[in-house]
C-alpha cells in the first residue's frame, strides 16, 4: 500500500491483511484515506481500536440467553428491509448508549464507531483532545463534522455520535443519510456514569470534580442545551418507557438487550414506512 504522509496528526488502523490505513486530521480537513477508490469496499474490511465487527457470534458477556437470541432474531427480520442503512445514535453520553450501540452493531453485523473517539485518536489521544476541546470547542465540533461526512457516505455502520452532531444544520443534515435514534437515558443514570468514569466529559462541558447532585445539575443544563437537536431523531429509545413496558420498578433492571430490541422495533417501523412510501410512489 502506498505510504501516507501525515503533516500533523493521524490515527492508524490495522486491516486484516496486516497492512495499515490512516485516518488523518489536518486543521479542519479530516478524512479516511484508503488505497482503493471505493471506500465502502475497504470499510467492510476495516478493523480499528474503537470499532467492533460481528462475526455472527454474541459477546461472551451476553451469552446464549433468551433475550440475546430474541435480539438476533429481530435483527435478522429487520436486515432485509434495512438494506445496509447506517444507524446514528444521539443523546447524552452513557454506558447504556455505548452498550446498545455495540450490541446493535453485532446483531445487525454492522461496524460500530464512536465519532468522538475517532476525533480523539486523530488528534493524538484523549489528553490531546481534551486540550483541543478546551482551547477550541468550535474547532473540535468542526472536526466532528468532517468525521460525520466520511461516515455518512458509507453503509452498514452503527455510529455513537457526540453532541457536536446535533449542534448545526450541517451535521443534522449528515445524520439524515441514515436512521437516527435518540437514546434517552435519565439524567440520574448519566450522572452516576460520570462519577464512575470521569473521562466521559471534558471540564469545558461539566465540572467532573463535583458531587453527584452537582454533576446531575450540570448534566441537566447540558440536556436542555442539546435537547432540540436530540429531538430531530427519527425515533426515541427511552429507558423509562422500556422500563414501564417491562413492568420494571428499578431502571437498573432494563438491560442492553431490552433497549436494543426496542431500537430494532423502531428501526423496523421506520423501514416499513419508507417501503410503503416507495411503493406508493411507483407508477401504475
pLDDT tens, the chain, 284 aa long: 333 332 333 444 333 333 334 444 433 334 444 334 344 433 333 333 344 444 444 343 434 458 889 999 999 999 989 999 999 999 998 989 999 999 999 999 999 999 888 877 776 766 666 666 666 667 777 778 888 999 999 999 999 998 888 988 999 999 999 999 999 999 999 988 887 766 555 544 565 566 778 888 888 998 999 999 999 999 999 999 999 999 998 999 999 999 999 999 999 999 988 878 777 777 76
* CA count, 13 A, side-chain hemisphere, 237: 30
Query: What is the C-alpha separation between 23 and 221, in angstroms, rounded?
Result: 34
Q: Tell me the C-alpha distance between 79 and 273, whole Å.
A: 15
Smallest Cα–Cα separation from 264: which of 53, 95, 105? 105
For the entire predicted model, the pTM comes to 0.74
Residue 87 CA: distances (Å) to CA of 34, 174, 176, 221, 226: 23, 12, 10, 27, 19
- Residue 4 carries which DSSP code? P
- In contact, 122 and 195? CB cutoff 8 Å: no
**How high is the pLDDT of residue 27?**
37
Three cell numbers at 23? 485516518
Helix runs in the chain, H state only: 39-43, 66-82, 95-108, 115-122, 126-135, 137-152, 169-175, 187-196, 212-230, 239-246, 256-280
Type and span of the H or E element at 153: none
Amino acid at each position: 500500500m502506498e505510504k501516507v504522509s501525515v503533516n500533523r496528526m493521524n490515527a492508524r488502523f490495522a486491516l486484516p491483511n496486516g497492512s495499515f490505513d490512516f485516518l488523518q486530521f489536518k486543521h479542519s480537513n479530516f478524512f479516511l484515506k484508503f488505497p482503493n477508490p471505493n471506500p465502502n469496499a475497504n470499510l467492510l474490511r476495516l478493523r480499528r481500536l474503537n470499532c467492533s465487527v460481528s462475526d455472527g457470534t454474541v459477546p461472551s458477556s451476553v451469552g446464549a440467553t433468551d433475550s440475546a437470541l430474541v435480539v438476533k432474531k429481530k435483527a435478522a427480520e429487520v436486515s432485509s428491509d434495512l438494506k445496509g442503512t447506517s444507524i446514528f445514535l444521539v443523546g447524552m453520553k452513557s454506558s447504556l448508549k455505548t452498550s446498545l450501540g455495540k450490541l446493535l452493531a453485532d446483531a445487525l453485523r454492522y461496524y460500530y464507531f464512536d465519532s468522538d473517539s475517532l476525533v480523539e485518536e486523530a488528534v493524538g489521544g484523549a489528553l490531546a483532545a481534551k486540550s483541543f476541546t478546551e482551547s477550541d470547542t468550535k474547532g473540535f465540533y468542526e472536526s466532528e463534522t468532517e468525521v460525520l461526512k466520511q461516515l455518512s457516505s458509507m453503509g452498514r455502520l452503527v455510529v455513537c455520535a457526540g453532541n457536536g452532531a446535533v449542534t448545526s444544520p450541517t451535521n443534522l443534515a449528515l445524520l439524515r443519510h441514515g436512521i437516527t435514534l435518540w437514546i434517552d437515558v435519565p439524567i440520574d443514570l448519566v450522572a452516576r456514569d460520570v462519577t464512575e468514569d470521569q473521562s466521559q466529559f471534558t471540564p469545558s462541558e461539566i465540572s467532573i470534580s463535583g458531587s453527584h447532585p452537582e454533576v446531575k445539575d450540570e448534566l441537566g443544563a447540558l440536556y436542555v442545551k442539546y435537547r432540540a437537536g436530540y429531538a430531530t431523531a427519527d425515533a426515541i429509545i427511552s429507558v423509562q418507557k422500556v422500563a414501564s413496558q417491562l413492568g420494571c420498578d428499578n431502571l437498573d433492571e432494563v438491560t442492553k438487550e431490552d433497549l436494543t430490541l426496542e431500537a430494532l422495533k423502531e428501526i423496523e417501523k421506520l423501514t416499513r414506512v419508507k417501503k410503503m412510501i416507495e411503493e406508493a410512489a411507483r407508477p401504475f
